[in-house]
Amino acid sequence: MVLAFTAKKKIGFMNVKISMPEVDSPLYEDWQSCNTMVLSWLINYMHIDVSSSIMYYETIREMWLELKNLFSQGNGPKIYNLQREISHISQNQMTVIEYYTKFKRLWDQLLNFEPFPECSCGAMKILSASHDKAYVMRFLMELNENFETFRS
């Protein structure tokens, strides 16, 4: 949703960069029109069970906060599922390119949910090198047996 609303230049309604003007402002009618349009997009693209519980909010911001509250689980379950998928992936019948693409997609998603902390002490270079080594080892471990010489 964030990507779609950013592309349509409507994300400001959700993060309050586009705030509601005073009712007597000349901008109020345009703001209300855009707000209503985005509300209708959200309601029309949701399952009826979800939309029926949020359709009476008057602003995108209110609706967005309710949706966030409703569906936000934090990153724990996603991180668990990604780590589980990575631990179970193997080349099997995939080509090396297919296997690598799937593996890299999962690994990149995991890194997105568990980013490295920022620091300027130099420890991040060591942590990053260790992470890269684990990445390569994990990838090599699940290559098919005909890549044994490559692995060693």
Q: pLDDT digit string (tens) for 57-99?
A: 888 889 888 888 877 767 888 889 999 999 999 999 999 999 9
In single-letter form, the type of residue at position 65 comes to L
Asked whether residue 100 carries a pLDDT value surpassing 90, the answer given is yes
pLDDT value at position 47?
86
Backbone angles phi, psi at 80, to 5 degrees: -60, -50
What's the chain's average pLDDT?
87
CA distance 86 to 127: 20
Scanning the structure block, which residue is given the tokens 């689980």?
73
- Distances in Å between the Cα of 47 and the Cα atoms of 3, 50, 121 are 19, 5, 49
